[in-house]
Structure 1
């Protein structure tokens, strides 16, 4: 009976009962003006000329077309239920709920949260002082799926990163992962390999002093010692090294004949290295070694050189042969002189000759005895 009477009273007064749960809130406008912002429980709200918006605080943010008008005309209603967060022109705000990041606000942004969905805290960062983000905070933002707010630079081991803000070199980044806010200064990083490396200059055509066109392969062993100077003194330090190696060898080789080049290859390496080291040190590069690795000759020149080498080797072989023949003749002459002065020695040589002949035939007939063996004719029979 009481409920029926209550409903009749509400109908006569033009109101109706609305029940909200703990996670619901209701914004009520009567005759186009803000009337109330209701929390959990039972409420009587006008039936006619009334606009009602039911919100869930589980969504954390207060999203409505009446947002700014509410704060402007009824700040008293907003104060008890809503938390407004604003950022300045050079400011980043990280909104945390129960200590966990839930949103990142970029400069000059605004967001409204349901106070009862909190507690909320706000960490603010000044972009003008440093756009860098602490590694621990960057990991927390990644875990909260807020990594879009960051720009990440990864520097591999053995490298350094030359950090630029809006094109201006700021500092050196060591190996590791470095994070920056995605807004503010434009962040770029150029990676520089600090390890010792070999730079190859292959297939360079050079005209020697005697007008022979050759191709050479060059190599330079180098290491970057001053990355700041290497990236600021020249646009591309590896290309600068490449050109410098080309030019210095072109000058050195062009001043030599082909024969001089082949004979003084090692000396050219030393001269070129001494010339280049001072030049490369000026752009932050330590040149450890430089070498003329290969000299590739045209086909016809290679054939001519092969014939020259072959002739030289044949001449050397003939000289050796003649020398050995001379030595043999000298030895025979000495033997003959010894036998002439020593009959016993002559007899021994005769017997050696007889032994050698006898070893190769079945029958041996000797006339006039063995005394005249070396003076008479020996007739051999099978």
Structure 2
């Protein structure tokens, strides 16, 4: 308290600056100096002194309206306490603080920091010819969360990444993680799946040659062999394949009758597949397999066909029945001829018949003519 009263009597100001602070000192509104850590005593007649403190640890970046006046009026003092980083028109700079990424400056930028908040370093990168970021640097920036001017892209396994700069194709990227500088130009990566894929065309209506409307379901398997051509030749190559399948099968099946389509269901794919494969090969897509999965008939046509099939099967059954009856009659005729020519065979048949009958009844009385089998048996018994 006594010291404060003494300072006021002597017209001076006493203030303390901590290690984590710096202070800009003004006298009568004019820049006087930048005060470092410690206790300071300065003349303060008529309370002309003003002190503005700054925390250089939490506020390492110097953002102040006094920046330009400091460098203009007190260049040596400003150079001692402040570090300035700048970038050119075609470069970016990675600013590091104590060996760790602190900030990334885009082209034509400036960053002013407190020198004692460092140590500071800057890595300048020319982006005039290549926007790609070194993988090691990219990992460091990602871990530090400094992605403000970075576009990231990941190309998955089994895919090709097409790199476009401002809409112009540049190169094809292998699977991996990539980063590109956002610095006046736009980098985009379009992923193209190179694995085997399938496309289904369901419920496609076709009018046959005999004016029957049917619905067909198609399936095709394909893979991209030239991703650059597949992307540049058409807007959407999968949609192009879908439409090619529609048109090819509609044209092919429309020239056939319903009966021909049903008869050639297994082989009809080959007639349409050739043109589809040739058209798609021209845009970098290899069609591996095409299948006509289903042919769906209208309800009334399905009933008619069921009746036709039932009639055909009934006719086939009648033919088989007649053939078997004929075979049975022919067999009986042959048997009768054998028995007529061989009396012993006839007698054996009679014995078999008697054996079958005797096995089913308790008592059997037989009346037979003198020329019959039983007459012979009696004669044998008498003897």
For the criterion TM > 0.5, the same-fold answer is: yes
Structure 2: segments with no counterpart, 5+ residues: 375-383
In the alignment, structure 1 residue 33 sits paired with structure 2 residue 48: no
Root-mean-square deviation (CA), in Å?
A: 2.3
Matches within 5 A, 1:56-71: 56-58=55-57, 59-71=59-71
How far the C-alpha of 1:373 sits from its partner, in A, is: 6.5
Matches within 5 A, 1:80-99: 80-99=80-99
Q: 2:51 aligns to what?
A: 52
Q: 1:221 aligns to what?
A: 221
Q: 2:15 aligns to what?
A: 18
Contact 1:366 1:373 (8 Å CA) reproduced? no
Q: 2:114 aligns to what?
A: 114
How far the C-alpha of 1:63 sits from its partner, in A, is: 2.4
| Distance in 1, Cα, partners of 2:42 & 2:65 | 21
How far the C-alpha of 1:23 sits from its partner, in A, is: 2.5
How far the C-alpha of 1:298 sits from its partner, in A, is: 0.8
How far the C-alpha of 1:357 sits from its partner, in A, is: 3.0
| Distance in 2, Cα, partners of 1:370 & 1:96 | 134
Q: 1:156 aligns to what?
A: 156
SS at match of 2:267: helix
**Superposed CA offset, 1:139-165 (max 9, x none):** 222222323332222222222222222
Contact 2:151 2:181 (8 Å CA) reproduced? yes
SS at match of 2:61: coil
Q: 1:321 aligns to what?
A: 321
Q: 2:177 aligns to what?
A: 177
| Distance in 2, Cα, partners of 1:165 & 1:62 | 35
How far the C-alpha of 1:108 sits from its partner, in A, is: 2.1
Q: 2:263 aligns to what?
A: 263
**Superposed CA offset, 1:96-146 (max 9, x none):** 012101111222221111112211110122232222222222222222232
Structure 1: segments with no counterpart, 5+ residues: 375-382
Q: 2:381 aligns to what?
A: none
Q: 1:199 aligns to what?
A: 199
Number of equivalenced pairs? 370
How far the C-alpha of 1:8 sits from its partner, in A, is: 5.6
Q: 1:248 aligns to what?
A: 248
Over 3 Å counting, the alpha-carbon distance change for 1:370 and 1:87 in structure 2 is farther
Contact 1:95 1:122 (8 Å CA) reproduced? yes
After TM superposition, the score normalised by the length of structure 1 is 0.90
Q: 2:379 aligns to what?
A: none
Contact 1:131 1:184 (8 Å CA) reproduced? no
| Distance in 2, Cα, partners of 1:119 & 1:253 | 78
Between stretches 33-42 and 251-260, larger displacement belongs to: 33-42
SS at match of 1:171: strand
**Superposed CA offset, 1:189-235 (max 9, x none):** 22211110110000001000011100000000101111111111111
Contact 1:162 1:173 (8 Å CA) reproduced? yes
SS at match of 2:335: helix
How far the C-alpha of 1:343 sits from its partner, in A, is: 1.3
Q: 1:352 aligns to what?
A: 352
